[in-house]
């Protein structure tokens, strides 16, 4: 797979080493998020091991409330993570917009996050960055824990 395998859409997020885009797999039409990281930047700040850990951990987790890492590839310039797309974006943005959540919605999000954390602890993984920016929401209002970097 390469960047040519996808129609790449608009940017949906910005990270330390690159950007996240919505994209569509050309053959299947499947919608994903591509996290495109500059290899040069990764090397400059010695983050290769951290990225490898992110990939190894997230590839092995399967839970409805954990953002799936579907695959990855690289070329000379970029390392690209193929991620499940969370259409409604960050919980952080919802909180900023609505100030506070209704109790029912908040309790659903907390229960989903707790189930996902319980699952990763069983696998002896800790996240170290649980915060509203890293809790994404999909089209069905399901929490997806993201960013295992």
Which stretches of 84-132 are DSSP H helices? 91-98, 103-122
Rg for the chain, CA atoms, rounded: 16
Q: Residue 84 and residue 30: Cα distance in Å, rounded? A: 10
Reported residue count of the chain is: 149
Binding mask 87-126 for Mg ion (x = CB under 5 A): ----------------------------------------
The region of 23-31, 38-46, 70-78, 130-138 touching ligand ATP under the rule CB under 6 A is 130-138
Q: Residue 87 and residue 98: Cα distance in Å, rounded? A: 18
- Determine if 142 is a binding residue for ligand ATP (CB under 6 A): no
- Which CB atom, from 83 or from 117, has the smaller least distance to ligand ATP? 83
18 contacts which partner out of ligand ATP, Mg ion, none, CB within 5 to 8 A by kind? none
**Site residues (CB under 6 A) for ligand ATP?**
12-13, 15-17, 20, 33, 35, 67, 83-86, 89-90, 133-134, 136, 146-147, 149
């Amino acid at each position: 797979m390469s960047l040519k395998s996808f129609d790449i859409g608009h940017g949906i997020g910005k990270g330390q080493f690159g950007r996240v885009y919505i994209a569509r797999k050309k053959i299947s039409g499947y919608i994903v998020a591509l996290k495109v990281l500059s290899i040069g930047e990764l090397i400059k700040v010695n983050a290769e091991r951290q990225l490898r850990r992110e990939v190894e951990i997230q590839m092995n987790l399967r839970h409805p409330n954990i953002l799936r890492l579907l695959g990855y590839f690289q070329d000379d310039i970029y390392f690209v993570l193929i991620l499940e797309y969370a259409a409604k974006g960050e919980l952080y943005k919802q909180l900023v917009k609505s100030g506070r959540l209704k109790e029912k919605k908040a309790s659903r999000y907390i229960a989903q996050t707790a189930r996902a954390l319980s699952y990763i602890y069983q696998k002896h993984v800790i996240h170290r960055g649980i915060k509203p920016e890293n809790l994404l929401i999909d089209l069905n209002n399901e929490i997806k824990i993201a960013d295992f970097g």
